[in-house]
Amino acid sequence: MTVKPTILIVEDEAKMRRLLELNLGEDGFATVSAADAETGLKLLQNAPVDLVLTDVKLPGMDGMEFLQTVKRLNAALPVVVMTAFGSVEMAVDAIKAGASNYMLKPFSLDEMRLVVRKELDVRRLRDENRSLREALHQRFEHPNIVARSAKMQEVLATVERVAPTNSSVLLGGESGVGKDMIARALHEKSRRASGPFVKINSTAIPENLLESELFGYEKGAFTGAVGSKRGKFELADNGTLFLDEIGDVPLPMQVKLLRVLQEREFERLGGTRTLKVDVRLIAATNRDLRAALEEGTFREDLYYRLNVVPIDIPPLRDHKEDIPELVTLFLARSAADSGQEFEGLTPEAMKLLMAHHWPGNVRELQNIVERATALAKGPVIDVIDIHLDPPRGRPPGSSTAALPEGMTLEQWEDEMIREALRRAQGNKSQAARILGLSRNALRYRLSKIGIEDEPEKDSSG
């Protein structure tokens, strides 16, 4: 505390008042003093007081009444009462009425110092506690992002913290949880907000075009390159580049990405000029990249470059308390689109939404609300307007029989891999496709089972 704490002294005996003023002043406190309670109250309203030291026996309004009035005005203000020796009951009454401490007259100046210090410390700690608690309860808000739940608040708190930095961020989370949305929020809250936000989705682009999309090309770099073109890295200069589905970037491209991340420079395809860019990178994946590291389908060095700050967005089933507000948001959007007003959902309809498992997360909720508004006959959405996607896989309630009797997950996985190979007649690329695995991931699993990676059988013959 750099500002001197101020103590209000209320004491009718002039000598005593003066003594207290002098000693507290010497101890580094600021003092204001009054000879009666009425003046004391006036002073209290005009000066920021940190502690009140008051006599109980006062002319006019007595000390007890004064204490009660002070507490009514400011319950957090510590009040120390001074009572004559032999009137301990009075002291007890004062404590009951809210005094934080008492001193029996005559007291030593040391004792007085001790009591005053202690009460000020208690108050300071209480204030610190409160501001800490307030900081913890600080609500983070972002337009169009619903984040009432603690889980989403945590996400927004991290966004707030890392947005102004240039650190790379790796967004994780299932499909539809809001990775795109958070990537944009990071950009909008950064100093690059006035710069471009450029997105590239590696799964949406054929592998052979990904490089030219990222780095651009010069005229004649390949057949069909009739002019030169800037890549996403160049387009994102002074802004943010969002690499969506980073887990699907093929290994050779990963090497090239790593170089740009390390050196912040690159050449266009077929070009010789080295280009430098100032780009903040945000990557997203709905796959477990750590598993991909183990399988050797994702480079470790690239992973650590990208994963400077990880933000994992929880699936909707883990923050269902956000559903009502999300529904309100999506209803308002539908209303804006269709010009039709919606009041909300019936309690039964809301119950239905709260009980759903939401495999498609917020995107699924958004679709279902949209569909409901199209079907609703009036301003209130009811159960019949809500068409949830049937649960995938096993029906609910049969959750215990996940694996065939007596089989471990690993054995079952091996069995699935063998089955896929059988169906693909030994063609590993095809087997990988059947399993939804990359060629590398399959190779890794085959080596675990002990199937040699012999040259591929030709499936065309």
**Site residues, ligand ATP (CB under 6 A):** 144-147, 152, 173, 175-181, 286, 326, 329, 362-363, 366
Residue 40 to residue 101: CA distance in whole angstroms: 19
In whole angstroms, the minimum distance from the beta carbon of 445 to ligand ATP comes to 24
- The reply on whether position 363 binds Mg ion by CB under 5 A is no
In whole angstroms, the minimum distance from the beta carbon of 199 to Mg ion comes to 9
- The reply on whether position 180 binds Mg ion by CB under 5 A is yes
| Chosen from Mg ion, ligand ATP, none, partner binding at 362 (C-beta under 5 to 8 Å by type) | ligand ATP
Please identify, using beta-carbon distances, which residue of 234 and 364 lies nearer to ligand ATP: 364
Kindly give, in sequence order, each residue whose CB lies less than 8 Å from that of residue 43, ignoring residues fewer than 6 positions away.
8, 32, 34, 49
Residue nearest to ligand ATP (CB): 178
Please identify, using beta-carbon distances, which residue of 32 and 350 lies nearer to ligand ATP: 350
> Binding segment for Mg ion among 180-188, 287-295, 335-343, 396-404 (CB under 5 A)?
180-188
Residue 297 to residue 287: CA distance in whole angstroms: 12
In whole angstroms, the minimum distance from the beta carbon of 174 to ligand ATP comes to 7
How much is the CA Rg of the chain, to the nearest whole Å?
A: 35
Write phi, then psi, for 169 (nearest 5 degrees): -125, 135
Please identify, using beta-carbon distances, which residue of 179 and 184 lies nearer to Mg ion: 179
From 78, 109, 110, 111, select the one nearest 95 (Cα to Cα).
78
> Binding segment for Mg ion among 10-18, 142-150, 175-183, 259-267 (CB under 5 A)?
175-183
In whole angstroms, the minimum distance from the beta carbon of 389 to ligand ATP comes to 15
Q: How many CA atoms lie within 13 A of 340 on its CB side?
A: 17
In whole angstroms, the minimum distance from the beta carbon of 183 to ligand ATP comes to 8
Please identify, using beta-carbon distances, which residue of 118 and 363 lies nearer to ligand ATP: 363
- Cα dihedral: 284, 289, 290, 293 (round 10): -130
Residue nearest to Mg ion (CB): 180
Site for Mg ion, residues 260 to 299, rule: CB under 5 A: none
Stated as kind and residue range, the H or E segment containing 251 is helix 251-263
Residue 215 to residue 237: CA distance in whole angstroms: 12
With contact defined as beta carbons under 8 Å apart, do 33 and 52 qualify?
A: no
Chain contacts with Mg ion (rule: CB under 5 A): 179-180
